[in-house]
Structure 1
């Protein structure tokens, strides 16, 4: 399914070179006319132009093996630096000419006849620029036209490469799993995935390959374990590398690279907001969802492939197949769930920032768990519930982070977690819910009030949140009795001072409202209850009674 969809995508990209062709920069264009006469050499080395050239299915390494119509000067002319040609230079020049002659005999194209006449008449150094070197890449242009763009010439090279595969790699001919034709099966990935950003080798990483007996089956080794022909292998490799190279089609989170595309390669920028949610673009996206004004087809298929690398191996982490409409709806929900009434400016977070909030990040280490990244991405794209590992990592990070504890990104992620599990019967609202009587939530609220009482009464270097948060959020019964007794002394101080009397009555009222709902302090709290404790603590800290009263009136 994955490789088939990549091959389908390759057919929609107009800029792709045809099978068995690649793109590269060229140093000089040899300009000739129909009579094979030299018009001049055009230096294109600094123009940044990219030209297609015929690539060998099996690399030439040290062999004498010319490319079709585009090659180094040492192949086209033999030697442009000295008068005499070595034996190898004689071979390379003859091989290049023979290949052009074979092409003309097969296609009969007039432009190839013109190139043949040029090669037969030229004496090399008489026609060349003095600064041309043997390692410079040259290509022909006949009356301003690129012969490699002619359909018959492309088919000649593709047919030739497939014949070479049958002759030199004829050990396995079978039905290709993608195109369903009887062809030579690739024994290696001809187009390796460029995954340097996530730990891959500079030369590329193979998606399909077996390098150990335990991975082989039915006597098949290397890429023969998957029956895919060379043409299809080239297509899906080019498609993947195209998506990897395009900013509009990739999203890197930690050590995982997500590439995404639509069936018809239509424009969809909603996914980019998950990487960098720019306020203006996000606002327009959310408005377009609400109004229904979109520039794409809702039911068009949407694909997302998650990749990482283990040196020379490409690793598939996840595969998502849905529709643009579903993705749009889920991304909208992802950002809507970040709404928190906490007296702070409206802020939205990328997937990486949410995942980052669950881990300790240093200059040397990135401890974000892949399962956390994968779950948040699936939530944002597919709308699937966040896994318990996300909750576990949030709770552990809150307990370890003595300085910040429950930050806004962590509170947003906790809200997402609980609201993605409606079967739990817990619906977390944007602001404090005084009707929520869950003991864990109430304990979180109570802890926030006790912290505020201490803060208003005395100036302490070490606050109760620094010393007691971990125990209070996991075993409330063991600490709350002592904390409440201490709070009574602080409340008495607030009551006696005229400047804080009003604060005393409000804190006493909040304390009583919570204690009325709490029949007893739980001995222990489960992982989910610890998450509710954190939300109760955060929302109580963010509570603004004056705004609440205004809304009620």
Structure 2
């Protein structure tokens, strides 16, 4: 299903002229130089085609005949392009060693080992390139390919130092990827019609392939023995990793080797890998969620509708956009969904039936693991994401725009000075939380335990953490969790809520407020810093101590601010009226979640009252 969807996406990309996707049999590679030949095959120039728009010159990406994996003991050249060790038989390792020896400098043990290995490989790399192209281009009538054939037959690596065209580019030329061009032509040799015919034939692919029915397309044709690397997944090998791989004898069966175990045609393998690499390079269709690298794409009746759907979906997944216009657009979209109106009310190109595909990948040694795979209509995903933000909603809101999934995951990591690192996020939670959001299912219950443990450990009772707790408990209630009541939890302070955990959280916030009122700015640590964990888990052992200390704090407030003391005592009395005078010995995990919500609601209401009083005093000053 995944590979088939990626193959279909590749076919759609080919029809989009703005995608810049590699056609079948080709790949996008980093090329630095172009060797210019005359019709007799002599080198008449070497063009530096690197991108020089920034301070540092970087190789330019060109569409060339497809590359493929090369093991250390097998020498297989690429068609009409390659690095200089294959094309010219010269390497930076050898040339640098020669220069050091000419200066009388000694080589390190590592340099000697590299030099010996490269000297042994160079003749074989060049000979394989020469032999392969002599066989492939034999009988060609194309002028450019004939010039290249003359060049490769007559070239001797010893000529390299004698040709100034190479030397003027310095050491940067060595080991770079190069292509060829016929003098007087604007295009490169591999772009000619004659070359295209050749590199779509098996002789130019560098692969020995058997025919079988492709599991993706159902067509019979040459199958891919080895699938090329996928690059861009965070923390995977820099050289790339594979989704499909059979690199050990234990992975084979019935005498089938490597790709024969799961036959995918060479064309389909190239298509799905090209499409996935394209998505991983895209900033718009690529997001990091914990250790999962997530890509997504849309399938619509035309490219414009698909692009608009991808834009809105990207904004849903990561609404923390610096562009205020886009942020406003997301708020409008969420409001439309809440009112039951179609997204087309926001933009006629947003069609409910547009299909969205989401793939989450995580590194696993030289392979990639599928963290999650979800596909549904744009309308279905929009409703689920809107419900997700609604389940997290608190008053007052701890954020201006809904938080991205990656930011929610940071709340599960240890907080140091109010900051968390993505590397500390538990890996399993990234996939489980993303899957729950995208499917509309229950959030992982382990998320509740994780956040409560973090709050007890670091004392960071942030709005994001409390919102996640509310979301877990809300969905657990609504979707039929055992031992729970139906219905959602309150978004803001609920003075009629009789849940013991919620009331104890409110009481703890009130006692903290009294402490702050008594000690003011002189306070070094509040009761939250010292007692939050114990108060939320074992109330009976902590609250009597806190209440005794509170009497001392109230005595001080009565002397300095008698009106404030009366309102604070009234607040505590109202909570006791619902709670009773007996404290539970312990609270279950769910009730500890209610404790956090009650604490947040009560403490935030205190800040809101303070702001209202400041506004009143300010207005009174203006009237005077």
TM-score by length of 1: 0.81
1:476/1:217 CA distance change after superposition, 3 Å: farther
1:293 counterpart = 2:346: yes
Q: 2: CA distance between counterparts of 1:143 and 1:201?
A: 40
Taking a change above 3 Å as real, the CA distance of residues 196 and 364 of structure 1, as seen in their structure-2 partners, is same
Cα separation, partners in 2 of 1:65 and 1:197, compared to 1, 3 Å: closer
| 1:52-63 mapped onto 2 (5 Å cutoff) | 52-55=63-66, 59=70
Using a 3 Å threshold, how does the CA distance of structure 1 residues 333 and 428 change in structure 2: closer, same or farther?
same
Distance 2:588 2:124 in 1: 80
Partner Cα separation in structure 1 for residue 562 and residue 525 of structure 2: 24
Q: Secondary structure at the match of 2:428?
A: helix
1:516 is displaced (CA, Å) by 1.5
Post-superposition offset of 1:63 = 6.8
Alignment of 1:303 onto 2:357: yes
Cα offset, 1:479, TM superposition: 2.9
Contact 1:195 1:309 in 2 (8 A): no
CA RMSD of aligned residues (A): 3.9
Q: Distance between the aligned counterparts of 2:290 and 2:401, measured in 1? A: 22
C-alpha deviation, 1:312, in angstroms: 1.0
Cross-structure match for 1:524: 586
Determine helix, strand or coil for the equivalent of 1:282. helix
C-alpha contact (below 8 Å) 1:308/1:315 kept by paired residues: yes
Task: Name the counterpart of 1:254.
Answer: 290
The residue number in structure 2 matching 1:107 is: none
Aligned residue for 1:524, secondary structure, equals: coil
Q: Write the distance in 2 (CA, Å) between the matches of 1:11 and 1:378.
A: 28
Q: 1:151 to 1:288 in 2, by over 3 A?
A: farther
Pairing partner for 2:164 from 109, 130, 137:
130
Q: 1:195 to 1:176 in 2, by over 3 A?
A: same
CA distance in structure 2 between the aligned counterparts of 1:527 and 1:353, rounded to whole angstroms: 24
Tell me, in whole angstroms, the C-alpha distance in 1 between the residues paired with 2:276 and 2:328. Answer: 31
Work out the CA distance in 1 between the residues paired with 2:69 and 2:497.
68
Deviations 1:111-163 (A, max 9, x none): x24532675599778xx973237967232357434554466743542332599
Structure 2 residue aligned with 1:180: 218
Is the partner of 1:247 in helix, strand or coil?
A: coil
User: Is there any run of 5+ residues in structure 1 with no aligned partner, and where?
Assistant: 105-109
Measured in 1, the distance between the counterparts of 2:355 and 2:428 equals 25
Structure 2 SS opposite 1:24: strand
> What's 2:145 paired with?
115
Match of 2:22 among 17, 25, 32: 17
Distance 1:153 1:225 in 2: 33
Deviation at 1:466, TM superposition (A): 3.0
Is residue 157 of structure 1 aligned with residue 157 of structure 2? no
Q: Secondary structure at the match of 2:180?
A: strand
> Are residues 1:228 and 2:289 paired?
no
SS at the partner of 1:385?
A: coil
Deviation at 1:184, TM superposition (A): 4.0
Question: Which aligned pairs between 1:58-69 and structure 2 lie closer than 5 A?
Answer: 59=70, 67-69=78-80
SS in 2 for 1:391: helix
Match of 2:133 in 1: 96
**How does the TM-score come out when normalised to structure 2?**
0.73
Aligned to 1:46: 50
Q: How do 1:9-408 residues align onto structure 2 when only pairs under 5 Å count?
A: 9-13=9-13, 14-22=19-27, 23-28=29-34, 30=36, 41=45, 43-47=47-51, 48-55=59-66, 59=70, 67-71=78-82, 93=130, 95-102=132-139, 104=140, 112-113=142-143, 115-116=145-146, 119-120=149-150, 130-132=164-166, 137-140=178-181, 143-146=185-188, 148-149=190-191, 153-161=195-203, 165=207, 168-170=208-210, 173-189=211-227, 191-195=228-232, 197-198=234-235, 200-210=236-246, 215-220=251-256, 222-264=258-300, 266-267=307-308, 268-269=310-311, 270-272=313-315, 274-275=317-318, 277-278=320-321, 280=324, 281-290=326-335, 292-294=345-347, 295-337=349-391, 339-342=393-396, 346=400, 348-360=402-414, 366-402=423-459, 404=460, 406-408=461-463
Q: Is the 8 A contact 2:289 2:430 kept in 1?
A: yes
Alpha-carbon contact 1:248-1:272 (below 8 Å) kept:
no
The DSSP-based 3-state class of the residue aligned with 1:278 is coil
* Consecutive unaligned residues in structure 2, runs of 5 or more: 14-18, 52-58, 96-122, 168-173, 301-305, 337-344, 480-484, 616-624
Q: Distance in 2 between the 1:19 and 1:130 partners?
A: 37
Deviation at 1:247, TM superposition (A): 1.5
